[in-house]
């Protein structure tokens, strides 16, 4: 076992922001980041880049507050939206240019290191694993740990009858970047499985590189995604639709989990006129997605193109949705892609056999089927202790949580009666046999505050959430957050889980899906730390998007508060 004891070990490169902010405050600290992948950036890493992969947020909405993200002058940009490869370059430079005690972040990162087990021994965290490929026998000890594996680390891979007879290539979207970097054969036939934004990007890129593409969307799933485009709103304060969605005013169009109701939100959600306005707003968004695709009348469309019309209800987030950045996307797909809305019955030699459908000759299957929310390096007992998802037990602790969650659910429906009217969603992937995440602020366990989970939430802008979670986590470790009592924390966790489960009937059962609650979540974390430098005045706070530079003063503000606290306690900063 390594004799050195670290102050903080970060598991996963979603923790770059967490490591940076902690070192901003504690530059002499011993901080180590371990990452399974061979490159910097997680989903933005070099190995996961592929043609057609664009950011879902604009330039000023991306990157961290201390270093602006820029793109070359000749880069292709569409309403401030840009190719994802520039995020890769940004992060590579970021870890080189942040230097603490003469040691850059890059020198604190151990790549290609697979963590096999994390446990707590004598008040120290022990992280065991080894260097890939096949390495083992290495371990580290740390006083605190940040788990930053995020929501795109553990692939969700379907199983197929006859996969051993397929004799073609089957890969997950996580590995698609490596595949796309190869020179394609002249007549490669590729099936893309999945209905979300990643599937759409992969389909588009494959067509552009000359492949025959079959887009397979199962009948038993959520159906095709709802896709919009980055509409040009540059005449106002917004450069694109994601900026509009990053305003507190937009957030009021949804019942809120982390904010107290106001006269405005009570009007919107508690009156017949307000409810009619809200419904009209979301119905318009649904129709916009259908209109952009023009699924029934697009000239030159192949048979089956109309099956890409989405039935997703955006208010309820009942299925995948995202933004299409390329102006020619729908024409390209309509005229070139064979769409199958069907389940796969089995695989044969280079053939995909569809249930009640055709047998399709295929060489490669790309599974754009998402990721699992798992933490395989914790054993079952530790997952339960920490409040991570695990099979629902039948013990006294489970009964206590059931009581809290039932009471919280009743309170959610009392405050927001409309949430009782959620559509009934049938899904074969129902995770309700598991407990939800039971972490305070979706970051720290009820009792053990020497560990934090960052990036374990689904939000529209991962950069903003990562930076704010980094601030709150540092404040947690520094004792700068006044935590409630254990009973109050449990009640709060139960409330969040009950609300998210009601608010997002398809994705909310694990309690970490904050699609329309990101702004309230960010405000909550920063207010608990006591930071206000990001505020711009009540009107701008309400109507302007939260962009990267808005958080640029938070480090200085936090350090001043931390120094003042230490001096008050008679300690030297």
- Within 10 angstroms of residue 121's Cβ, the number of other Cβ atoms is 9
Nearest-angstrom CA–CA distance, 418 and 282: 14
Which pLDDT value is given to residue 234?
53
Yes or no: say if 471 and 550 are a contact pair by the CB < 8 Å rule. no
- Within 10 angstroms of residue 258's Cβ, the number of other Cβ atoms is 20
**Which residue from 423, 455, 439 is spatially nearest to 489, judged by alpha carbons?**
439
Tell me what the mean pLDDT of segment 348-356 comes to. Answer: 95
Which pLDDT value is given to residue 249?
94
**Which residue from 271, 248, 250, 319 is spatially nearest to 523, judged by alpha carbons?**
248
Coil, strand or helix at 441: coil
Nearest-angstrom CA–CA distance, 43 and 466: 14
Token look-up 């994802």 returns 84
Tell me what the mean pLDDT of segment 66-81 comes to. Answer: 92
Give Rg (Cα) of the chain.
24
CATH 3.40.47.10 fits domain 5-154+372-568: no
Which pLDDT value is given to residue 3?
67
Which pLDDT value is given to residue 12?
87
pLDDT digit string (tens) for 99-123? 999 999 999 999 999 999 999 999 9
Nearest-angstrom CA–CA distance, 28 and 568: 22
**Which residue from 231, 195, 201, 441 is spatially nearest to 321, judged by alpha carbons?**
195
Yes or no: say if 157 and 146 are a contact pair by the CB < 8 Å rule. no
Yes or no: say if 255 and 413 are a contact pair by the CB < 8 Å rule. no
Dihedral in degrees, nearest 10, Cα atoms 249, 253, 256, 259: 20
Tell me what the mean pLDDT of segment 394-400 comes to. Answer: 82
Q: H helices then E strands: how many in the chain? A: 16, 23
Structure-model confidence comparison of residues 427 and 30, the more confident one = 30
**Which residue from 247, 251, 267 is spatially nearest to 259, judged by alpha carbons?**
251
Which pLDDT value is given to residue 206?
93
- Three-class DSSP labels, 301-312: CCCCHHHHCCCC
Which pLDDT value is given to residue 266?
93
Nearest-angstrom CA–CA distance, 521 and 258: 6
Yes or no: say if 344 and 160 are a contact pair by the CB < 8 Å rule. yes
Same fold for the domain at 5-154+372-568 and the one at 157-369? yes
Reported as a pLDDT band with limits 50, 70 and 90, residue 572 is low
Nearest-angstrom CA–CA distance, 416 and 414: 6
Coil, strand or helix at 81: strand
pLDDT digit string (tens) for 34-53? 999 888 888 888 888 888 88
Which pLDDT value is given to residue 237?
76
Coil, strand or helix at 297: coil
Which pLDDT value is given to residue 348?
96
pLDDT of residue 566 exceeding 90 = no
pLDDT of residue 404 exceeding 80 = yes
Q: In the predicted model, what is the mean pLDDT of the chain? A: 91
Yes or no: say if 375 and 179 are a contact pair by the CB < 8 Å rule. no
Which pLDDT value is given to residue 186?
56
pLDDT of residue 131 exceeding 70 = yes
Q: Which uninterrupted H or E stretch holds 369?
A: none
pLDDT digit string (tens) for 504-563? 999 999 999 999 999 999 999 999 999 999 999 999 999 999 999 999 999 999 999 998
| Per-domain residue ranges of the chain | 5-154+372-568, 157-369
Nearest-angstrom CA–CA distance, 133 and 102: 31
Tell me what the mean pLDDT of segment 498-503 comes to. Answer: 96
What percent of the chain is modeled with pLDDT above 70? 96
The two three-digit tokens of residue 322, written as one number: 């995202």
Nearest-angstrom CA–CA distance, 280 and 284: 6
Count of residues making up the chain:
573
CATH 3.40.50.1400 fits domain 157-369: no
Nearest-angstrom CA–CA distance, 148 and 452: 8
pLDDT of residue 467 exceeding 70 = yes
**Which residue from 200, 223, 225 is spatially nearest to 213, judged by alpha carbons?**
200
- The pTM score is 0.94
What is the layout of strands, in order, in the sheet containing 212-217? 169-172, 364-367, 189-193, 212-217, 337-341
Coil, strand or helix at 539: helix
pLDDT of residue 351 exceeding 70 = yes
Nearest-angstrom CA–CA distance, 383 and 83: 37
pLDDT of residue 219 exceeding 70 = yes
Enumerate residues 6+ apart whose C-beta is below 8 A from 465. Answer: 455, 457, 459, 514, 518, 521, 522
pLDDT digit string (tens) for 412-451? 999 999 999 998 765 545 556 789 999 999 999 999 999 9
Handedness of CA 344, 345, 349, 352 (dihedral sign): negative
What percent of the chain is modeled with pLDDT above 90? 76
- Within 10 angstroms of residue 340's Cβ, the number of other Cβ atoms is 22
- Within 10 angstroms of residue 73's Cβ, the number of other Cβ atoms is 6
pLDDT of residue 1 exceeding 60 = no
Tell me what the mean pLDDT of segment 372-395 comes to. Answer: 89
pLDDT digit string (tens) for 146-202? 999 988 888 899 999 999 999 999 999 999 988 887 765 555 899 999 999 999 999
**Which residue from 456, 462, 515 is spatially nearest to 62, judged by alpha carbons?**
462
Reported as a pLDDT band with limits 50, 70 and 90, residue 98 is very high
Handedness of CA 287, 293, 299, 303 (dihedral sign): negative
Reported as a pLDDT band with limits 50, 70 and 90, residue 11 is very high
Which pLDDT value is given to residue 567?
83
Token look-up 């009209």 returns 280
Residue 538, judged by CB atoms within 10 A of its CB (0-12, 13-18, 19+), counts as exposed
Yes or no: say if 233 and 81 are a contact pair by the CB < 8 Å rule. no
**DSSP string for 497-531:** HHHHHHH-TTTGGGS-B-TTTHHHHHHHHHHHHT-
């Amino acid at each position: 076992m390594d004799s050195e004891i670290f102050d903080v070990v970060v598991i996963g490169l979603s923790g770059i922001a967490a490591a940076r902010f902690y070192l901003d405050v504690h530059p002499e600290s011993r901080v180590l980041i371990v990452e399974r992948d061979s490159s910097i950036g997680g989903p933005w890493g070099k190995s996961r880049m592929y043609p057609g992969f664009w950011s879902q947020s604009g330039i000023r909405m991306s990157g961290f507050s201390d270093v602006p993200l820029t793109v070359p002058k000749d880069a292709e940009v569409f309403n401030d939206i840009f190719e994802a490869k520039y995020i890769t370059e940004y992060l590579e430079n970021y870890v080189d240019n942040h230097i603490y005690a003469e040691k850059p972040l890059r020198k604190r990162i151990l790549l290609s290191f697979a963590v096999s087990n994390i446990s707590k021994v004598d008040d120290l965290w022990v992280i065991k694993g080894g260097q890939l490929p096949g390495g083992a026998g290495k371990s580290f000890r740390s006083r605190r740990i940040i788990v930053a594996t995020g929501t795109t680390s553990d692939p969700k891979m379907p199983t197929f009858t006859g996969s051993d007879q397929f004799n073609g290539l089957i890969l997950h979207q996580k590995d698609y970047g490596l595949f796309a970097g190869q020179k394609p054969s002249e007549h490669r036939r590729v099936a893309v499985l999945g209905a979300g934004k990643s599937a759409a990007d992969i389909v588009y890129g494959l067509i552009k590189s000359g492949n025959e593409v079959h887009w397979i969307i199962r009948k038993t799933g959520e159906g095709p995604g709802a896709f919009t485009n980055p509409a040009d709103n540059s005449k106002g304060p917004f450069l694109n639709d994601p900026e509009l969605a990053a305003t507190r005013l937009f957030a009021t169009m949804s019942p809120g989990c982390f904010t107290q109701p106001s006269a405005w939100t009570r009007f919107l959600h508690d009156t017949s006129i307000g409810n009619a306005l809200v419904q009209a707003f979301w119905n318009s968004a649904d129709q916009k997605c259908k209109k952009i695709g023009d699924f029934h009348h697009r000239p030159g469309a192949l048979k089956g193109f109309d099956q890409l019309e989405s039935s997703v209800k955006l208010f309820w987030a009942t299925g995948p949705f995202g933004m299409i950045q390329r102006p020619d996307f729908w024409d390209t797909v309509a005229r070139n892609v064979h769409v199958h809305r069907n389940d796969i019955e089995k695989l044969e030699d280079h053939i995909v056999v569809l249930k009640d459908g055709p047998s399709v000759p295929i060489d490669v299957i790309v599974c754009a089927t998402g990721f699992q929310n798992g933490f395989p390096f914790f054993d079952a007992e530790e997952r339960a202790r920490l409040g991570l998802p695990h099979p629902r037990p039948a013990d006294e602790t489970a009964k206590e949580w059931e009581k809290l969650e039932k009471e919280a659910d009743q309170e959610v429906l009392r405050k927001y009666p409309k949430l009782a009217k959620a559509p009934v969603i049938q899904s074969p992937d129902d995770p309700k046999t598991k407990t939800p995440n039971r972490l305070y602020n979706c970051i720290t366990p009820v009792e053990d505050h020497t560990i934090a989970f960052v990036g374990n939430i689904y939000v529209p802008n991962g950069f903003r959430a990562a930076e704010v979670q980094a601030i709150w986590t540092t404040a947690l470790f520094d004792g700068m957050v006044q935590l409630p009592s254990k009973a109050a924390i449990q009640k709060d966790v139960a409330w969040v889980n009950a609300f998210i489960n009601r608010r997002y009937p398809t994705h909310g059962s694990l309690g970490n899906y904050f699609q329309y609650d990101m702004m309230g979540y960010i405000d909550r974390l920063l207010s608990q730390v006591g930071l206000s430098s990001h505020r711009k005045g009540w009107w701008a706070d309400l109507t302007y998007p939260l962009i990267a530079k808005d958080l640029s003063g938070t480090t200085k503000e936090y350090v001043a508060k931390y120094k003042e606290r230490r001096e008050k306690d008679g300690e030297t900063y």
